Amino acid sequence: MRRRLRTALTAGALATAGLTGPAATAPAAPAPAPHATRPVAAPDWSVAVVDSTTSRYTPSTIGGWSYPVGLYLYGQYLVYRRTHDARYLTYIKSYVDRFVKSDGSIGQGFDSLDSMQAGRLLVLLHHETGQDRYRTAARKIRDRLNTYPRTSDGGFWHADTSSRAHQLWADGAYMVNPFLVEYGEEFGDSAYTDDEAAKQLSVYGSHLQVADGLLRHAYDESRSAGWADPQTGLAPEHWCRAVGWYSMAIVDVLDAIPANQPRRPRLVSIFRKLAAGLEKYQDPATGRWFQVMDKGSRPDDWTETSCSSMFTYALSRGARQGYIDPHYAAVARRGYQGVLAKLSVGSDGRTNLADISIGTNVGDYAYYVGRTRATNDFHGLGAFLIMNEQLRGD
């Protein structure tokens, strides 16, 4: 919520110039030389994606309370903050008000980290409207964390169910920690929330990050999951979006916590190691990243759009903020162009974003590369908007 605002460009607008005189007397203007052709302004792809998505779905039909919709609508909020188009905020409020009653009650048990991600919308709506109902609803997530199950070293389980018991998924780093630091800032609870978010990222990083800087998808402290290595408890693969979730989370938390936060040096160290891994495994041909990150040489692996947006955002923001070396800005720019290559406009005038992995559990290589490659999946649309608001002026 502290992002700079830029003036929106109208999609497809032409930069025009020149003088006109009275029609009856003005001499015919000479045809411009080829080198004098008027430039075409870059489209505002954020506005185009939001307008396309909100024309496809109403706040009632976009889906239930879920993290993919929450991610997309958070991206839409960033576009609202820049453009001040009131329709975008009204849309978000209409969606949230399906679930939050006037007294702030919300029919969610918050028994998984996934269910908490859309809580960011509660915080931002309180920030924009001042309505106490959103504080009350957000407080339910904050209070749930008091009793939420943890690993022995304090990491939040991915979900409070037997099938997810004792497990840390890299995905979960984004589902709760950006909410936490934003909640703390909005409601004066940063002493707890900043420390908790930093602790979670540190614990997750200590288990999931391996020698090449990348993170494995998940870790099972009990070693009982079918995918868990019996010695390390780690999942077998580096699934790109799981690493993407963690990458965005660590940037958002570093942006929020104070410079003297005790865990900050540890988070910066994790991020720098991760950034080196991201650079190493970026596809040199496309600028994007592969679904299984370190196996791009295999013929059935493919570049995935949502994680490519996430890494592009994290590297650009990290370089700009000084968390990682400035040269990563160039890595991010290559990623940005790679993602833009997956964006097109259909015959109906609406945008289409291709090659987005649908929602994914923990699995093996064949499972990941066999996932459906969707178009306009909310995982990809939300990540695209977050990325584009970071890089559109670069």
Q: Do β-strands 167-169 and 218-220 pair in parallel, antiparallel, or remain unpaired?
A: antiparallel
The vertex-366 CA angle with 151 and 339, nearest 5°, equals 85
State residue 393's pLDDT score.
77
**DSSP H stretches of helix in 162-228:** 172-187, 190-208
State residue 394's pLDDT score.
72
State residue 6's pLDDT score.
29
The answer for residues whose C-beta is within 8 angstroms of residue 332's C-beta and 6 or more apart is 311, 312, 313, 315, 316, 319, 391
Which amino acid, 36? A
Give 292's Cβ-side CA count (13 Å radius): 20
State residue 41's pLDDT score.
64
Distance between CA atoms of 345 and 263, rounded to whole angstroms? 44
Residue 119's φ and ψ, nearest 5 degrees, are -60, -20
Q: Is 171 in the active site?
A: yes
b/e burial code for range 288-297 (CB count within 10 A of at least 16 → b): bbbbbbebbe
State residue 186's pLDDT score.
98
Residue 333's φ and ψ, nearest 5 degrees, are -65, -35
**Which residues of the chain register pLDDT less than 50?**
2-38
DSSP string, 22-52: -TTTPPPPPPPPGGGPPPBPPP-HHHHHHHH
The answer for residues whose C-beta is within 8 angstroms of residue 78's C-beta and 6 or more apart is 3, 46, 385, 386, 389
Provide the residue count of the chain. Answer: 394
In tens, the pLDDT along 235-288 reads: 999 999 999 999 999 999 999 999 999 999 999 999 999 999 999 999 999 999
CB count in 10 Å sphere of residue 71: 26
State residue 256's pLDDT score.
98
Share of the chain above pLDDT 90, in %: 89
pTM, full prediction: 0.90
State residue 9's pLDDT score.
30
Which one from 171, 220, 283, 355 is the annotated catalytic residue?
171
Q: Which two tokens stand for residue 380?
A: 């990809």
In tens, the pLDDT along 132-147 reads: 999 999 999 999 999 9
Q: Which two tokens stand for residue 365?
A: 């290589």
